[in-house]
């Protein structure tokens, strides 16, 4: 058997496996798969003909012309359908003329040249047929390059490489007909096209059967690319059903399912051909097919009219809360990022205020854009070098000098600082808090190792650890490795933990506190008095220091009502006394005035931290401030 035979057999096996997988997974669920499946089927039939003649050579002479005509035409059909699929899959509203001219014309000529070549006319027609194949592959490559922004880079590169390989294989077979490699490479191209298709689970929402959020983002990307090139407009309607996640608890599983089916049926009826997406729990988008504002307005009115009535039956009949918003792009959102911010803002407005109609033009995108920018800066804070550790000295009443300091993190964007409360919250939400805290630990260890703090009178530096840090199984091992790397004694670091909720101290957190304590680290409970602290935990946990939050320290001096001030004073005094009774030392945070300082001294507070003595400052300024204070 020749080289071409092996290629034909390989192509047939690949195509047969793909066809089998299509039937199992994709054919009935992914849009436009019928086109790529038809291309696959055409090439499979072509490869089957080749195998038939390979294993039955005696009939080759009698059916030579029909064989070549059928086999080559099927291959041409496969190529044309594949390139047509690329057009449909990559572009939006391309019209009919581009596919007709760029695919239909070469395909039609290909068929004519194939028939002429097979009926004994000059071999030039065979070369011309191959040339038409080359043209169609070139068109496919151009589609990928022109519309590369409408899909992921990875997917574009993979399809591009297989298209280039198909073009090269066609050129080789054109020059050396006996090689017959084209069929195999087309099979590989179809395989790549198949695997580049989105999974049904990604394209559709499993609960409702509607197109899902990832499909919506991809479609929006395609539409924005089209809008940029043609200066067109697209309108969409946003529907929000607040509280839909709680319907199951209210109605029970069976009735909730019936209600959901009823709502979905009505939404599909209202869409009437308009593309309908579920982009979040209880959040739906109607994307106008032609992009016309009139069509979107009609959909919005239909939604309002229907949702003003009840859903369900007597057993679970209910009136659903809802709100809608009409969004015009690019008028209201110049790019896809701004659009997603606008949708998110409308969702929050709908959930908070429950209005039937939200004017998208009235939404303040500046705050949403700022939060998105902060999130991006926080995610890349360590690698960008925009983090800086500041130190706020802590004063001892007994020794009349600075004896320690708290390490406080600052994040700047090159010009201004982002408020710590904001970026720490963002870091906890996006998962970057552990990396940031590791950076702070490293910088503090470097500072302790590089500065002779004992000679300055600084016994330890306080470090904040988040709950995320304390939930790490190896936090004790990590801290041990860090202090050993910089030759720092664990007693020179005091770890602060803040109770952010009433279930902060899980078994894992408590176990890690004891592991770190055995290694020589001391612990402080930060922000005592903020509402979550459990007295039993304070007694049981190895806290050497308990820090009174600035709100409890400042309230007796700032509240306007005399009775409120008296109550706050009682709370402050009882808290300080309780901490002394259990044998822990006390730090008063937020001390800013002489009156507050004197009050803390009368209460027997051990340490003072606040603006009265010093604000947080960079390392060099901190060292100078300690030298000045501790020389007195």
Residue 165 falls within a domain, yes or no?
A: yes
Q: Look up residue 490 and give its two tokens.
A: 């664990």
Band (499; pLDDT cuts 50, 70, 90): low
Residue % of the chain over a pLDDT of 70: 81
| DSSP 8-state secondary structure symbol assigned to residue 100 | I
Cα 355 versus chain centre, distance:
29
Q: Does 341 share its domain with 354?
A: yes
pLDDT-based confidence at residue 544 (cuts at 50, 70, 90): confident
Predicted pLDDT of residue 8: 66
- CB neighbourhood size of 79 (10 A): 30
Q: Does the pLDDT of residue 29 top 50, yes or no?
A: no
Residues 585 and 606 in one domain: yes
pLDDT at 503: 45
Clarify whether residues 331 and 304 are in a common domain: yes
Q: Flag whether 221 is in a domain.
A: yes
Reported as a single tens digit per residue, the pLDDT across 419-461 is 787 788 778 777 788 888 899 999 999 999 888 888 889 999 9
Count of domains for the chain: 3
138 lies in the same domain as 18: yes
- What pLDDT, in 10s, does the model give residues 351-373? 666 667 888 777 766 666 667 77
Residues in CB range of 282: below 8 A, 6 or more apart = 240, 241, 242, 243, 244, 245
Sign of dihedral through CA atoms 163, 168, 172, 174?
A: positive
> Which CATH number do you get for residue 235?
3.30.70.270
Q: Are 597 and 612 in contact (CB under 8 A)?
A: yes
* 3-class DSSP state of 593: coil
On whether both 239 and 310 belong to a single domain, the answer is: yes
CA–CA separation, 11 and 43 (whole Å): 9
Pair (262, 379) in one structural domain? no
Stretch 29-34: mean pLDDT, rounded? 55
Q: What is the largest CA-CA distance in the chain?
A: 114
Q: Are residues 171 and 301 in the same domain?
A: no
Asked whether the beta carbons of 276 and 210 are under 8 A apart, the reply is: yes
Same domain, residue pair 170 and 242: no
Its pTM stands at: 0.50
Residue entry with tokens 């499909």: 215
Distance from C-alpha of 295 to C-alpha of 141, rounded to nearest angstrom: 35
Predicted local confidence at residue 575, as pLDDT: 86
Residue 404 and residue 492 in one domain: yes
Tell me the angle at which helices 64-90 and 33-55 cross, rounded to the nearest 10 degrees. 160
pLDDT digit string, tens, across residues 212-245 = 888 888 788 877 777 766 667 788 888 888 766 6
Which tokens in the block code for residue 497? Answer: 């933990």
The answer as to whether 331 is a domain residue is yes
- Residue 322 has phi, psi (to 5 degrees) of -160, 165
Residue 195 tokens, joined: 């695997």
From 162, 197, 232, give the residue that closes a domain. 197
Higher pLDDT: 97 or 625? It is 625
Domain boundary among 197, 213, 236: 197
The CA distance from 541 to 534, in Å, is 11
For residues 58 and 181, membership in a common domain is answered with yes
Range of 46's domain?
Answer: 3-197
3-class DSSP assignment, residue 331 = coil
The three-class DSSP label of residue 400 is coil
The verdict on 192 and 205 lying in the same domain is: no
**Rounded mean pLDDT of 160-186?**
85
Are 103 and 212 within one domain?
Answer: no
Using the 3D structure, point to which of 304, 338, 363 is the last residue of a domain: 363
Query: Is 368 within the bounds of a domain?
Result: no
Report how far residue 598's alpha carbon sits from residue 79's, in angstroms, rounded to the nearest whole number: 87
CATH code, domain with 511:
3.20.20.450
* 555 touches 574 (CB < 8 A): no
- The rounded distance, in Å, linking the Cα atoms of 201 and 221 is 20
User: Within 13 Å of residue 384, how many CA atoms lie on the same side as its CB?
Assistant: 13
- The per-residue pLDDT for 501 is 44
Mean pLDDT of all residues belonging to the chain: 80
- Cβ neighbours around 66 below 10 Å, total: 11
């Amino acid at each position: 058997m020749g080289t071409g035979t092996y290629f034909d057999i390989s192509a047939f096996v690949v195509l047969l496996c793909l066809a089998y997988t299509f039937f199992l997974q994709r054919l009935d669920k992914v849009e436009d798969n019928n086109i790529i499946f038809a291309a696959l089927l055409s090439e499979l039939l072509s490869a089957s003909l080749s195998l038939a003649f390979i294993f039955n050579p005696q009939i080759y002479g009698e059916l030579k012309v029909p064989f070549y005509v059928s086999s080559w035409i099927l291959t041409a059909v496969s190529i044309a359908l594949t390139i047509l699929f690329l057009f449909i899959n990559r572009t939006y509203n391309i019209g009919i003329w581009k596919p007709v001219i760029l695919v239909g014309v070469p395909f039609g000529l290909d068929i004519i040249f194939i028939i002429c070549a097979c009926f004994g006319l000059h071999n030039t027609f065979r070369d011309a047929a191959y040339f038409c194949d080359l043209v169609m592959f070139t068109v496919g490559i151009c589609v990928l390059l022109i519309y590369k922004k409408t899909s992921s880079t990875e997917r574009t590169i993979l399809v591009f490489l297989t298209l280039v390989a198909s073009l090269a294989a066609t050129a080789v077979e054109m020059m050396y007909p006996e090689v017959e490699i084209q069929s195999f490479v087309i099979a590989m191209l179809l395989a790549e096209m198949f695997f580049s298709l989105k999974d049904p689970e990604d394209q559709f929402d499993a609960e409702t059967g509607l197109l899902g959020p990832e499909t919506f983002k991809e479609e929006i990307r395609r539409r924005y690319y089209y809008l940029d090139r043609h200066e067109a407009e697209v309108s969409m309607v946003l529907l929000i059903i607040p509280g839909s996640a709680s319907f199951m608890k209210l109605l029970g599983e069976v009735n909730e399912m019936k209600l959901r089916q009823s709502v979905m049926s009505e939404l599909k009826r209202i869409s009437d051909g308009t593309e309908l997406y579920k982009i979040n729990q209880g959040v739906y988008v109607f994307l106008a097919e032609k992009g016309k504002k009139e069509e979107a307005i009609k959909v919005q009115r239909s939604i309002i009219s229907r949702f003003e009535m009840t859903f369900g039956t007597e057993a679970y009949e209910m009136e659903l809360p809802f709100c809608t918003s009409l969004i015009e792009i690019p008028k209201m959102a110049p790019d896809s990022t701004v659009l997603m911010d606008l949708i998110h803002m409308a969702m929050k407005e709908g959930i908070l205020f429950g209005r039937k109609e939200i004017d998208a033009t009235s939404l303040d995108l500046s705050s949403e854009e700022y939060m998105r920018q902060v999130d991006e800066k926080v995610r890349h804070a360590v690698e960008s070098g925009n983090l800086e550790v500041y130190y706020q000295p802590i004063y001892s009443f007994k020794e009349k000098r600075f004896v320690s300091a708290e390490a406080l993190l600052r994040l700047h964007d090159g010009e201004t600082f982002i408020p710590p409360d904001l970026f720490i919250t963002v870091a906890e939400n996006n998962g970057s808090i552990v990396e940031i805290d590791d950076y702070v630990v490293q910088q503090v260890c470097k500072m302790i190792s590089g500065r002779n703090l004992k000679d300055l009178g600084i016994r330890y530096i306080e470090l904040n650890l988040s709950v995320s840090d304390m939930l790490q199984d190896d936090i004790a091992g990590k801290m041990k490795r860090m202090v050993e790397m910089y030759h720092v004694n664990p007693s020179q670091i005091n770890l602060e933990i803040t109770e952010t909720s009433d279930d902060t101290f899980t078994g894992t957190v408590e176990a890690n506190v004891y592991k770190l304590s055995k290694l020589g680290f001391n612990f402080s409970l930060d922000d005592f008095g903020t509402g979550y602290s459990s007295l039993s935990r304070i007694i049981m946990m190895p806290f050497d220091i308990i820090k009174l939050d600035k709100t409890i320290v400042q309230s007796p001096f700032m509240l306007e009502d005399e009775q409120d001030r008296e109550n706050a004073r009682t709370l402050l005094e009882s808290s300080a006394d309780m901490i002394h009774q259990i044998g822990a030392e006390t730090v008063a945070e937020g001390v800013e005035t002489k009156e507050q300082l004197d009050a803390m001294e009368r209460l027997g507070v051990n340490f003072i931290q606040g603006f009265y003595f010093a604000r947080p400052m960079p390392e060099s300024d901190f060292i100078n401030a300690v030298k000045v204070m501790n020389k007195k």
